[in-house]
Structures are given as C-alpha cells and as structure tokens.
Amino acid sequence: MGRRHHYRRKKETPELDVTTFLNLMVVLIPFLLVTAVFSRITIQELNMPESAGGGEVDKPLVTIEVIVREKAIEIGDGKSITLSIPKVDGAYDIEKLSEFLMKLKAQYEDKEDAVVLVEPDIAYEDMILVMDAVKVAEIREEGEKEEEVQKLVLFPEISIGDAP
C-alpha cells in the first residue's frame, strides 16, 4: 500500500480591492452634498388643545378658533361661528383670513394663542397655509421703487385638533 502524502497548502487570503468602492464614494459624496443644499426642512411648533378644567387667571377669556372645512374657513370664539370665508375658485381665501385675524389682534393685543381645527380630508399644504396665516400676517406697502412686505405677528402659539 502506498502512502499518500497530503499536502496542506496554505490558502492565502486574497487582497481586498476597494478601488471601485472608492471611485463610487468620490462621485457620490459631492453629489449628496450638492443636493443637500436644495432640501429645506421647516418645523412647525404646535401645542395640544388644553382641556376644559380650572382656568388660569392671567389668560384672556376669548378663544380664537380657525376651523378649516372642505368648502370654507370658519372663525369662531369657542361657542359660535363669527365669520365664514368660502373658497374662491377652489382655493382658500387666505388674504381675507389674514385681514380678519389682524382685526382680532387689534382687539385682543395680549392674546398670543389660537386653535386651528382641521377636517380629516384637508390637504396638508392648505393646513400649513392657514397655520402660517394665523401666526403671521404680511402687510404689503407700495414704496417708491418696489413693494415692501412687513410681517405682523398675530397668534404664534397654535394648538391644532380635529374639527367638530
């Protein structure tokens, strides 16, 4: 019987070639950095509506509710609707809303909060437009050369909820 000699060959681990991966990173990183400049994230600060418990003495007694419905925007005082602004050509009349909210701000200068109530099927963009109009009003004044825009802070503390 012949003896078999088993040769154990040392298996060498192949070298890892990362050249292709580095080429990909050289192209991908500048692309991601360039596109990151164009994306912008805006954060809306919201408060939850307060429950009807014991009231605080310092707060004004008036409640401002802006209710976004499918066919109109309604403004109420927590008990009844004081104004209804219907849609114009399928879009909400944000200018009329801003005008009425500026009148309310003139009446209640110390008031900082408002409640925005939204029906379930309202588009997100429309909700954001209404919330921006409740927070800040833009007043356009024609100057000598161009139109100037001044911003008037109305009700920056917004609570949001479902419309009744």
Token pair, residue 90, equals 């399928």
Contact 157, 112 (CB under 8 A): yes
Contact 87, 74 (CB under 8 A): no
Out of 11-25, 52-66, 87-101, which region has the weakest mean confidence (pLDDT)?
52-66
* Rounded CA separation 121/162 (Å): 11
3-state DSSP call for residue 156?
coil
pLDDT of residue 33: 83
Its pTM stands at: 0.64
Is the per-residue pLDDT at 139 higher than 90? no
The enclosing domain of 85 has a CATH number of: 3.30.420
44 lies in a domain? no
List, for residues 107-135, the tens digit of each pLDDT value: 988 888 999 999 999 999 999 999 999 99
Residue in the structure block whose two tokens are 């360039």: 34
> How many residues are given for the chain?
164
Q: How many domains does the chain have?
A: 1
